[in-house]
Amino acid sequence: MSDIIHLPENLSGVHIHFVGIKGTGMAALVEILFHNGAIITGSDVSERFYTDEILEKLGLKALPFSEKNITDDIQYVVYSSAYKPETNPDLKEAFKRGIPCLLYTQALGSYSSRAYSCGICGVHGKTTTTGITGTILKNIKNLPCQILAGSIINSFGKTCTYTSPDVQNKKFSPDFKITNAPFNSVFVAETCEYQRHFMSFFPQKILLTSVESDHQDYYPTYEDIRDAFVDYICKLPEHGDLIYCADDKGAVEAALLAYNKRPDINLVPYGENAGSEYKLKFGKVEDEKNKFSMEIFENKELYLKVPGMHDVRDACGAVALVCQILRYFGKHPFDYAEDILNGLKEFSGGKRRSEITGHFTSKNGNDVIVIDDYGHHPTAVKTTLEGYRDFYKGRKIIVDFMSHTYSRTQGLLQEFAQSTQSADVIILNKIYSSARENASDFNITGKTLYEETVKYNSKDKVFYYEEATDALDFVTKLIEEPLSKDYPDGYILVTMGAGDNWKLGSKLIEEYNK
Please report the pLDDT score of residue 182 as a whole number. 55
Please report the pLDDT score of residue 347 as a whole number. 93
Cα 479 to Cα 361: distance, rounded to the nearest angstrom: 10
Q: In percent, how much of the chain has pLDDT > 70?
A: 97
DSSP string, 412-479: THHHHHHHTTTSSEEEE---B--TTS-GGG-S--HHHHHHHHHTTS-GGGEEE-SSGGGGHHHHHHHH
Coil, strand, or helix at residue 399? strand
Q: Which residues pair with 162 in a beta bridge?
A: 147
The tens digit of pLDDT for each residue in 448-471 reads 999 999 999 987 999 999 999 999
Question: Average pLDDT, stretch 245-262?
Answer: 97
Please report the pLDDT score of residue 433 as a whole number. 84
On average, the pLDDT of the chain sits at 91
The tens digit of pLDDT for each residue in 146-188 reads 999 988 898 998 789 999 988 777 777 777 766 554 567 899 9
DSSP string, 40-76: EEEE--SS--THHHHHHHTT--PBPS-GGG--TT--E
CB burial of residue 504 (10 Å; 0-12, 13-18, 19+): buried
Please report the pLDDT score of residue 2 as a whole number. 39
Inform me whether the pLDDT recorded for 352 exceeds 80: no
The tens digit of pLDDT for each residue in 257-271 reads 999 999 999 999 999
Nearest to 493 by CA among 416, 405, 511: 511
Nearest to 399 by CA among 464, 492, 490: 492
Inform me whether the pLDDT recorded for 482 exceeds 90: yes
Residue 25: pLDDT band with limits 50, 70, 90 = confident
Q: In percent, how much of the chain has pLDDT > 90?
A: 68
Q: Are 421 and 457 in contact (CB under 8 A)?
A: yes
pTM, full prediction = 0.81
Coil, strand, or helix at residue 204? coil
Please report the pLDDT score of residue 179 as a whole number. 58
Please report the pLDDT score of residue 383 as a whole number. 87
- Least confident range from 74-83, 285-294, 307-316, 323-332: namely 285-294
Please report the pLDDT score of residue 44 as a whole number. 95
Cα 321 to Cα 326: distance, rounded to the nearest angstrom: 9
